Amino acid sequence: ALDGDASGDVDIDELSAAWRTWFGGAIRPVRCLVIIDVQNDFIDGTLALKNCPAGEDGAVVVPVINQMRAEYEFDYTAISLDWHPERHCSFWECARAGDFPAPLHPSQDAARVREAELFDDVTLTAPDGKSPMKQTLWPRHCVRNTWGAACHKDLVVREGDIIVHKGTDPGIDSYSCVFDNGKYKDTGLLEKLRKRGVTHVYLCGLATDVCVAFSALHMAEAGFVTTVVMDGCAGVDRSQIEQRCALMVEGGVQLVYSRELRSLM
Ligand code: VGL
Ligand code: ZN
């Protein structure tokens, strides 16, 4: 009955039995809340979003995220942490000091890098040794094992939460919690989610137009049903937020508000 060239040939009971055999149980969504970079430096530290162009306060996402955890039953929760070494290619201070831990691309004027302003872009050589790779220069932030890299004190973290570190390589940045910016290496998160049978991911955190957007795009591309909870996010720059939201929608990501989850889950 499954070989039908006419739709009437498909036997739904038989089809559903086949799925049950494959999966060993009833088919249901397996949901993971993914909390991106709710770290002190993005809230009260060196890269505080409230001092960025959009003027959004990173702290407002904390109660929204905690409330989601309390109200909805996610099977899993993953927490990503921007986790940089002391010298990192995204640090403006390293660029200014001429102590840059990544090779510049031949097209990049080295003198320009030493005079770069905060948030300027520079062009680095990718880990393949030849491709140009754009890098924004941020103030030094989220240095591993420092206060700035720690989660906001009020964020609920439970035993069993999946913790994923990103941006650990000095020579390449990683906005996404899935792949680095050049897609050379993955963080290991995909494998952890797949091992647990996760089908649906719900993203929130910081920053909407940077790490949340890139993570959501990679997750949708990897085949997860991907939702971003907008009131659980705060961003850097208004026009960037708009552009990246459009890009996410184009990439199949659903953008919602936390109160809508009740009807979606
Ligand atoms: C982020 C800029 C630099 C983020 C991380 O978490 O959105 N932004 N590193
Ligand atoms: Zn970073």
Which ipTM score applies to this complex? 0.98
Which residue's CA is minimally distant from atom 6 of ligand 1? 211
Cα–Cα distance for residue pair 52/206, rounded to 1 Å: 12
pTM: 0.90
Strands 254-256 and 225-234: parallel
pLDDT of residue 27: 66
Q: Which atom of ligand 1 is nearest to the CA of 36?
A: 6
Residues in contact with ligand 1 by the CB-under-6-Å rule are: 37, 82, 90, 138, 206-207, 210-211
Q: Are 163 and 79 in contact (CB under 8 A)?
A: yes
**Could you tell me the mean pLDDT of each successive run of 10 residues in the chain, 265 residues long?**
60 76 69 98 98 97 98 96 98 95 94 95 96 97 98 98 98 98 97 93 98 98 96 97 98 97 90
CA of 94 to the centre of ligand 2 (A): 13
Residue whose pair of structure tokens reads 């993203």 in the numeric block: 203
CA dihedral 232, 235, 238, 240 (to 10 degrees): -110
Beta bridge partners of 151: 39
* 113 three-class SS: helix
* 30 three-class SS: coil
The rounded radius of gyration (Å) of the Cα atoms in the chain is 21
Q: Which atom of ligand 1 is nearest to the CA of 90?
A: 3
Amino acid at 103: P
Q: Which atom of ligand 1 is nearest to the CA of 209?
A: 7
Sign of CA dihedral 150, 157, 62, 204: positive
Q: Are 193 and 78 in contact (CB under 8 A)?
A: yes
pLDDT of residue 7: 61
Nearest ligand, measured from the Cα of 84: 2
